[in-house]
Structure 1
């Protein structure tokens, strides 16, 4: 089953900020590099936190959600915050943090898969989540190694 048109197009449009960050970094313009990396980092961290919010909403919308879902729902925000620690203490940044966020965005598909398998999300959920998580995760990884 395909996702409804509006969430599909809005989700795909959500990849545009990361595509722009990658394009700016790959353009070779040194003046844009750090800004593009910073914005790409911020966007990946925001979306990872957003996923946690989605999962919290899924848990709240069911009478008896699995208890692990409440825990899983707060992990993305904590992980996103922890990924800023290297920047805060003057360690190499943002490359390593971008790589961690890219991996986390892709790994989040594991939670989405469990939600779909348990029937806690619409039947079309994975057809939306797979391209979005893989797309943003891979673009974020690309930023981290660029």
Structure 2
């Protein structure tokens, strides 16, 4: 491949370090199990599965913000927007706890909001790629993980 050509998704996927690929994909398993239990599991497990799906989505969204902050801290030149973007995920995840804490409809709507936020996180990842702050393989891992976790969270939230 020409060094100046934009890498394809396949190029990026093949460059993901094997431990990151394996652990990243394994990270989809908890949400997959929770979504399956919400959709087709025993009724008595439904709320527990929803609560775990919510907690996992909120945790991973916050983790993404930490990743972005770490990439910003390690870079020489960082656009100001990245620091702002890095703190939004944990604040947003915390805000999705409010319905539960005040006794309103939860966790379905909160899971939908988290699923959409995880999908939207790809916009930051695209910015990290465009500015050269993220490793070249970054999108090769982030796209399937964000689409996978965001989609599974939406399935669980809508099924709630």
TM range (shorter): over 0.9
Query: How far off is 1:110 after superposition?
Result: 0.1
Q: CA deviation at 1:24?
A: 1.2
For the residue of structure 1 that corresponds to 2:54, the secondary structure is helix
Q: Are 1:68 and 2:65 counterparts?
A: no
- TM superposition outliers: structure 1 runs of 4+ over 2 Å: none
CA drift at 1:99: 0.3
Q: State the TM-score, normalized to the length of structure 2.
A: 0.89
2:140 aligned partner: 127
What is residue 116 of structure 1 aligned with on the other side?
129
Q: State how many pairs are aligned.
A: 146
1:7 and 2:20 are equivalent in the alignment: yes
> Is 1:101 aligned to residue 101 of structure 2?
no
Rounded Cα–Cα distance in structure 1 between residues aligned with 2:158 and 2:36: 14
Task: Identify the residue that residue 26 of structure 1 maps to in structure 2.
Answer: 39
Task: Mark the runs of 5 or more structure 1 residues left unpaired by the alignment.
Answer: none
**Structure 2: distance between partners of 1:98 and 1:23:** 15
CA deviation vs aligned residue, 1:98-137 (integer Å, no higher than 9, x gap): 0000000000000000000111011111010000000000
| RMSD between aligned residues | 0.7
With normalisation by structure 1, the TM-score equals 0.98
Structure 2 residue ranges without an equivalent (≥5): 1-10
What's the counterpart of residue 55 of structure 1? 68
